Amino acid sequence: MAGEGKSFQRMGYTFPKPLIDIHGKPMIQWVVENINVQGKFVFIVRKEHLEQYSLTHLLRLIAPGCEIISLNEPTEGAAMTVLKAAHLFDDEKPVVIVNSDQMIEWNSNEFFYAMSADECHGGIVTFRATHPKWSFVKLGEDGFIKEVAEKIPISDHATAGVYYFQHGYDFVRSARQMITLDIRTKGEFYVCPVYNELLKEKPKVRAFPVKKVWSLGTPEDLQVFLKEYPKYA
C-alpha cells in the first residue's frame, strides 16, 4: 500500500489505489477478504494517505487489531518496504507477504495447510503465465522451487503476489542478504528474489498453483477484473 499508484492518477482517479471503489468496497478490503486468513495484519501505507483519507479507521474496520506503519517517502522497493515492519514479526511464526492489488481464485485454507503439512520453509502462490511483467519460479523434479526470477520468464509458473515464510526471521535475514548483495530488478529490491537467498540454506520452498489471478495494479487490469470476476461480472 506504500506505492504511488501513478497509472490511476494519470487516468483521473482522485483516491489512492487502495481506496478505489470496486462494487461498493475499497480495493484493499477486497484483497483482505480474499486472503481470508486468521492472523495479525500489518499494513504499510503512505503517511499522506493515512492523514488525508482516515485510513486508520478503515483498516481497523476491515482487519481489527491490525498494525499500521506509515512511510514518509518511497523506499527502494517492496522488500525494503516490508522490512519496515520487521520489528513486528514473530521470529518463530510464519509471515505471509501479500501484494495489495490482486485477487486470487483460491482456497487460502488449503494453501496454509499445504505449507504446514509439508513443513515448508517457504511457499509461493503461482499460476500459469509467461508475460515478463510477472515474477517466476522454476521447479525441480521433486516439485519444490529451485530458483525464482523477477520479470524474467524462467518457466510458465508465474507468482501471484502471496509469499509465505515459515519464520519471520527467514524473511528478514534473506532480504537483508539480498540487499547487501545489491540484487535489484530495474533499480528496486523486490520480494520474490528474496527466495533465492533463502534457498541457499533452506530448500523446502513449495509452489501452490491456482487457476486464476487478477491483477488490480492498473486501470486496464481493473477493467479486466470487473468483466471477468465470476461473482460480479
The answer for 111, left when phi > 0, alpha when psi is -120 to 50, beta otherwise, is alpha
Q: Return the pLDDT at 1.
A: 75
pLDDT tens digits for range 62-113: 999 999 999 999 999 999 999 999 999 999 999 999 999 999 999 999 999 9
Mean pLDDT across the chain: 94
Domains in the chain (CATH in brackets) are 15-226 (3.90.550.10)
CA–CA distance, 49 with 19 (Å, rounded to integer): 10
Q: Return the pLDDT at 233.
A: 43
Q: How far is CA 149 from CA 156, 164, 169, in A?
A: 12, 16, 22
Show the cell assigned to 190. Answer: 523486490
Classify 129 as helix, strand or coil. coil
User: How, if at all, do strands 122-128 and 205-209 pair?
Assistant: parallel
Amino acid symbol at 56:
T
CA–CA distance, 145 with 207 (Å, rounded to integer): 6
